[in-house]
């Protein structure tokens, strides 16, 4: 089960529930060979991951890429910090966004682009309060109920 170009490796659906996504950005990742091979097998988790700045460089923390079995002693560490590949303009933009009150950087999706490179969809997000989450759940339930009603109405 190898992942092809343009195919999603991992999603963070919980991120859209817990945060208001203000803007998204496509960024690259600095990976080692065994990590890419593990990703081609479709193994990764970005649910607990977040991005942060450390000494002027942005890193992705807590992303899990399991070890590749064929790499033996040259394997990678599964939860190591991974450097994000950004342009200077994007770095300045993210620095300003993170310094604002309540904003954070969360990964939304990890995928292969059409050229076969691993890309990360990074969201500039502001945390939701409990009432906002309840409202999101109500809207989602209403959309589901509306879809059911329209579906049933068409069968009569």
* Interval 3-46: pLDDT, tens: 667 778 888 888 777 888 888 889 999 988 888 888 888 888 88
CATH code of the domain containing 39: 2.40.280.10
Within-domain flag for 58: yes
Three-state DSSP string of 51-99: EEEECCEEEEECCECCCCHHHHHHCCCCCCCEEEECCHHHHHHHHHHHH
- List the one residue out of 126, 88, 92, 89 whose CA is nearest residue 106: 126
Q: What mean pLDDT do residues 75-90 have?
A: 86
Give pTM, 2 decimals.
0.75
Q: How many independent structural domains does the chain possess?
A: 1
Within-domain flag for 133: no
Report DSSP letters for 92-110, one per residue: HHHHHHHHSTTEEEEEEEE
């Amino acid at each position: 089960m190898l992942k092809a170009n343009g195919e999603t490796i991992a999603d963070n659906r919980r991120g859209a529930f817990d945060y208001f996504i203000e803007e998204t950005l496509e960024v690259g990742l600095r990976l080692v060979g065994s990590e890419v091979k593990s990703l081609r097998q479709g193994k990764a988790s970005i649910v607990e991951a977040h991005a942060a700045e450390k000494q002027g460089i942005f890193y992705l923390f807590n992303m899990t890429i399991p070890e590749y079995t064929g790499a033996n002693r040259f394997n990678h560490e599964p939860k190591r910090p991974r450097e994000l590949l950004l342009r200077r303009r994007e770095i300045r933009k993210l620095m300003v966004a993170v310094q604002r009150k309540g904003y954070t950087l969360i990964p939304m999706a990890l995928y292969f682009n059409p050229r076969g490179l691993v890309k990360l969809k990074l969201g500039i997000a502001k945390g939701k309060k409990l009432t906002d989450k309840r409202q999101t759940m109500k809207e989602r339930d209403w959309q589901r109920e509306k879809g059911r009603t329209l579906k049933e109405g068409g069968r009569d």
